[in-house]
Structure 1
Amino acid sequence: MARGSASPAAPAVAAHPRAGTLKIVLLLIAAAALIAAPFFLYPIFLMKLLCFALFAAAFNLLLGYTGLLSFGHATFFGGSAYFTAHAVKVWGWPPEFGILLGVAGAAALGLLMGVIAIRRQGIYFAMITLALSQMFFFFCLQAAFTHGEDGIQSVPRGHLFGVIDLSNATNMYFFVLGTFTLGMLAIWRFVNSPFGMILKAIRENEPRAISLGYSVAEYKLGAFVMSAALAGLAGGVKALVFQFATLTDVGWQMSGEVILMTLLGGIGTLVGPVVGSALVVTLQNYLATSQFPVTIITGLVFMACVLLFRRGIVGEFYASRLGRRLGFRSES
């Protein structure tokens, strides 16, 4: 359905009088589960899930709240991974400064790409981001510091603030969890700020926003750079988790994967991309050693979700009677 068109109104459902308390309880349960998870599940799997969850949430900031579909977000995720890995391994930077460099590099790439693509709309915007992303892919293939097809390997995790040994899996997990939490809080604050409200207005009816005097291009560019920086945060942390950065991180397949995660979970919801990424990463992890072809199974799951959950898994829950009773709502 096109943005700005009328959608069928859902039947009015009164929110539960203790909806706010129930949300807090659910949040505390989720926090407790994440804190206890590394003692019951493989930490590397959990860290991969959190990195991709943050990546998908950053992408959703652009698609779900601004209405811009980018086919080039792997540029920021993989570019940051390369910058962080190079700074930590070759220059000997501590991990926190390596990640900050990755975030800054991703934001700079986002600014450059955004200035070129942001004045286009729809499929033209998506195709420009894809073309620019492919240009960056070939740059990474040829550049000396990326080591071409070999990538940057054996990246040391180092010591956080010179004290915490990140080579310890538990320490590394809680560092990734803290980074994920800060990233999600930043997205929540951004979405619920006056700037975020204007982005939603632009998404719903851009001509009206222009008529009200807003500089639409500048707001879109700001959202694009913010999304790129957060995707870079996910990429930089991922490089430390797996201790390498390769061409896979900047390939168009990675951009397609984050789109899939976001659509599965539900665009325009804060939690949706997290659920979608958890589903995809779990399928990849547990089917990798089986005889089942992972891509086919993932495709079948995507087809089922498109047919049964048009708004995504979380989006459909929000639209359900129970979701509305609990006070949840989707921004899409």
Structure 2
Amino acid sequence: MLMPNDDVEVLAAVRRYVVPERRYMKLHGWNIRHMDDRRRDEFGKSLTEAAVQASDKELIPLLNSDWRARLVAAWLVSMGGREEYRNLIKRLLLEGEGNNELKGFCFAVTSFGTRADAEILSVYLSESLSASKSLTAQDWALGGLLHLDERLATSYATPFIGNDGSWKKRAGVEVGPDVKNLMDFLSVFCEAYKVKSTDRRPGSSDDLLDAHSSWRPCRLPESWQVLTSEAVRKKLDSEVGELLDGCGLSQTEPLSVAACENCQSILFNTRPGVGDWGIADLSGCSGSRVEIRQSYAGIWECCAQHNCL
């Protein structure tokens, strides 16, 4: 598991999707329910905007990071209606350990809303209850299963509930109403703000599995260092933004993630659709001051060839 400061691809995606509004804090409990109507509407719209914007190239690093990143990524998948992520989310759910990220995976599966998703939750519940794991994430799985049973007129939750159900045998108590009420509420919220249509072409489920399995952090070339201070990153965002405005690139929304130790060059991530990555020279010297590339591999080559001595 990678922490954001371990890799610039992860850091950029975390800064763009996880950090704003401390989004991750609002997605693993009743926090959305406790918002007033105005705040909930604002939050729902911001999630929708993020779900439309997020690319597979950003979601894959998030799903390789810590629980905060994985939780938010799961919600972006849900809000974007990205059912092509079903098999990847299934694998992460069945292999996962952390309660908070598992809540996100349970909700994502529930949001897809099919019998296949009910079967995934059933398998997860059967395996996790028999393994005597914490019941925190299982609440979300069982709530999702009860929600899907009502929606699909099925009975996937039956083996888990009642006096003879595996839930009571494990927890010592029968299933309370909260486990379903929470998932009902979150599902209504998701449906209200979910992306209804998009020009995005869904990726292949198998391709996404392969992309997640094969993704590896890529160490920065020599002389480049990750920026670990958010205060420094924000200051540089502003400086890079001013430079880009002067170059006619006002829509890039730069997020600074690394700097050259030997000069004033900054590696930054751009808003999806503008490019992907860029290098800005903040020294004020004449000549080319901005490089934009369409991939991290492309900008990595620019970093490797960077010569400021």
Q: TM-score, normalised by structure 1?
A: 0.24
Answer 1 or 2: which has greater helix percent.
Answer: 1
Q: Which has the larger radius of gyration?
A: 2
Greater RCO between the two (CA within 8 Å, min separation 6)? 1
Q: Which has the higher strand share?
A: 2
TM-score (norm 2): 0.25
